[in-house]
Amino acid sequence: MSDIIIGIDLGTTNSEVAVVENGQVIVIADGEKKMLPSFVGVDDNGQIIIGETARNQYLVYPERTIKSIKRLMGQDTQIELAGQDYTPQEISAIILKRLKGLAENYLGQSVSKAVITVPAYFSDAQRQATREAGEIAGLEVVRMINEPTAAALAYDARQAESRHVLVYDLGGGTFDVSVVNIESGVVEVLSSHGDNQLGGDDFDQQIVLYLLEHIQDTYQVDVRQHSKAMARITRAAEQAKLLLSEAPYAQIEEEYLLEHEGVAIHLSHELSRMAYEEMIDDYINATLDAVHIALKGAMFTTSDIDEIILVGGSTRTPCIRERLLNEFGFEPHSEVDADLCVTMGAAIQAAMIAGQEVNTVLVDVTPYTYGTSAIGSLDGAPYPFMFVPIIHKNTVLPNRKSDAFATSYDGQDAVEITVYQGEDPDALNNVKIGEFRVEGLLDVASGNVITLTLGLDLNGILQVSAQEKDTGMEKSITIKNALSQFEGSSLQSAQQRINSLLGHMDPRVIEHESLAEKELPVAAEITTARELITKAEGLFEQVSREDQEDMVDLIETISNCIAAKDIQGLDAPIVELQDIIYYLES
Amino acid sequence: MQTPYEILGVETDARDDEIKQAYLQQVKNNPPDRNQQQFQIIHGAYSSIKDHKSRVSYDLFTLPTVNFNAVLERALKTEQTGTVNAEFLSKLLALDIDDNSLLKAFYSPDNT
């Protein structure tokens, strides 16, 4: 049992952790909640807070709360949090540490390995950043699997007949679509496509822009200057979006949003679903274009698809169901839990890697084409940066492909090898993901053959090597996020940087966790007590002085018991306080 | 060196769906997550014989036993009427490489 591997869905908006126990997938709850909001903040005492508390704090202290960090993964950027700079990896690592803690608490043993899901369309850099986040959190990321694939894994795959399933995965920040063949217990991804910067956050943003415009028109105030008001508008926009999934209209009310030249500004506005759907129409169109690219990648048409699985909270948007119904002629499947299926799939994959018996085996593909540039031609004219694809989009993982290149002039003693990711015949229009130089080549005429080999592992991470054919001299690199992120600095210094981060960040996070852990076993009683106190305090204004004094006394007794962790002592004062409240309310 | 048919454990005249089922079974028994190399071998075998087109190109380019001279000689010798001539040969050579009958002639010369 020591080698347990947990499955983690590290989402833009929410994150979850799951394990397989006795063949059953268990999503581990934090208290009552299975979803941990992907928010990280610093509270009044300088402590790091994670999840629900951080999300609640976001409204009041947006400047020391971070949301949607996933959208920055793989970028060379720093985020300020309470005066300190953090990389996206570090912030993600804080969330991962919390999930790790939850799992350890549940399992009663330490956990050091995880399968983490990433959007299928996450680039090499984004995958590397995710792995680094895991490392910082003290988790060996034994595998990264693609989110839509994980969702398909969670789906019952035991049926023998072949079913072609389209997984439409629209999360908070990313969109993926995969075409999957499920047959005889094998989940075989046929093609994937997506957009790693399109998600529910963009929908919120459209509503925010709309509201900002509305306030600008009504009050001539630019709310953008006020971070708190912006946080409230963002939250209101998100709530309106959620409401519009159920109702045709949403009433947006934010009183005292801000003060402008001594005048209080209230936001009160009704947003219709129709107006909202118009705002997000371009995004929905983009997802449907991606659906068709994925279908084409699998050499399918819409009529080849037997079922559609919707994944991610944003797929609750009603027009998405409608549009898919129009395209495919049938309704998407609704038995799959759009929020939890990705974590569940991660846990299934984790169990399989750990050697447990599982019913489903996964075969995945790369959504990207990888290659290099060479002297060649573009549109019929000679061109020095012609893209030469080596591993093509939708190739099964793992994969290794080689191609031969030749030196271009006599006595050429070095070659520069640049690796790109993309589909464009002009290499410069693709994403450069790494480069290296092979020196000390033989002093021979042009045409000295260099074999370039690209290997893509199960995690979608690329290993590149070049070999001079005649001498066997070889040079290889693994494309690391660090290479693109910290130009000029080496891989090693990037790793050192991460290690030193590990050193200074660990104690702080552990300290917070151990505190949370101690409270967990008694959480139920204490939560009841705290709720009761809040309720009692809410009644203060309408009760007699006598009652109020009684209540204050009882609250004090209860608070003392909570502080002393005296659970038994809580019983009597709680019953008394409940009686008073009952009497007052009836 | 095992042939793709041997790797997947199917007959050389297996149908597409038989090959596919054999492949899926092999994948279930050898998940990529447990043994990447073995999976690559299985997937490579499947890719090279999964449908008619891939089998034709596999037969053409990877079958080590093809000996054009021997095949031609046999063709000449077994011709009953004795009318083998340049015309027949050029006809033989001009056949589309996608043509099954020619492939069969190369693949199992004894049957011709």
Cα separation of B41 and A237, whole Å?
52
Nearest CA of chain A to the CA of B73: how many Å?
Answer: 37
- Per-residue pLDDT tens over the stretch A496-525: 543 443 344 433 343 344 434 434 445 567
Give span(s): CATH 1.10.287.110, chain B: 4-62
Nearest CA of chain B to the CA of A186: how many Å?
Answer: 6
| Catalytic residue numbers of A, as ranges | 9, 70, 147, 169
Q: Given a cut of 90, is residue A166 above it in pLDDT? A: yes
Nearest CA of chain B to the CA of A453: how many Å?
Answer: 16
Chain B residue at shortest CA distance from A188 = B24
Q: Which residues on A lie below 8 Å from B28 (Cβ)?
A: 184-186, 361
pLDDT at B78: 57
Is B34 an interface residue toward A (CB < 8 Å)?
yes
Partner-chain contact B32 A183, CB within 8 Å? no
Is A186 an interface residue toward B (CB < 8 Å)?
yes
Contact between A484 and A76 under an 8 Å Cβ cutoff? The reply is yes
Contact between A31 and A523 under an 8 Å Cβ cutoff? The reply is yes
Q: Pick from B8, B12, B11, B109: which is nearest to B56 by CA?
A: B12
Contact between B63 and B106 under an 8 Å Cβ cutoff? The reply is yes
**Could you give all domains of chain A from N- to C-terminal order, each with its CATH number?**
5-198+285-363 (3.30.420.40), 370-485 (2.60.34.10), 521-585 (1.20.1270)
| A 366-405 residues inside an 8 A Cβ radius of B | 396-400
Cα separation of A394 and A180, whole Å?
11
The interface predicted TM-score of the complex, written ipTM, equals: 0.71
Element (H, E) at A370: strand A370-378
- Per-residue pLDDT tens over the stretch A37-91: 999 998 888 788 889 999 989 888 888 899 999 999 988 888 888 777 888 988 9
Is A463 an interface residue toward B (CB < 8 Å)?
no
Question: A266: which 2 tokens?
Answer: 């209230």
- Per-residue pLDDT tens over the stretch A414-447: 888 999 988 999 999 998 888 888 888 899 999 9
Cα separation of A89 and A97, whole Å?
12
Q: For tokens 């290659």, what's the residue?
A: A371
**Residue A30 CB neighbour total at 10 angstroms:** 22
Q: Which residues on A lie below 8 Å from B50 (Cβ)?
A: none
Q: What is the pTM of this model?
A: 0.76
Nearest CA of chain B to the CA of A361: how many Å?
Answer: 6
Mean pLDDT of B22-38: 90
Which long-range contacts link A380-385 to residues 24+ away (Cβ below 8 Å)? Answer: A383/A426, A385/A426, A385/A427, A385/A428
Nearest-5° angle of CA A438, CA A443, CA A448?
65
Phi, psi of A305 (to 5 degrees): -85, 130
Q: Given a cut of 50, is residue A371 above it in pLDDT? A: yes
Partner-chain contact B27 A457, CB within 8 Å? no
Cα separation of A112 and A95, whole Å?
15
- The helix/strand count (H/E) of chain A reads as 15, 26
| A 540-569 residues inside an 8 A Cβ radius of B | none
Q: Which CATH number fits domain B4-62: 3.40.50.720, 1.10.10.10, 1.10.760.10, 1.10.287.110?
A: 1.10.287.110
Instruction: Report which of residues A557 and A564 the model is more confident about.
Output: A557
Contact between A240 and A286 under an 8 Å Cβ cutoff? The reply is no
- Per-residue pLDDT tens over the stretch A245-296: 999 999 999 988 888 888 888 899 999 999 999 999 999 999 999 999 999 9
Pairing assessment for the beta strands A5-10 and A113-118 based on DSSP bridges: parallel
Is B25 an interface residue toward A (CB < 8 Å)?
yes
Partner-chain contact B31 A183, CB within 8 Å? no
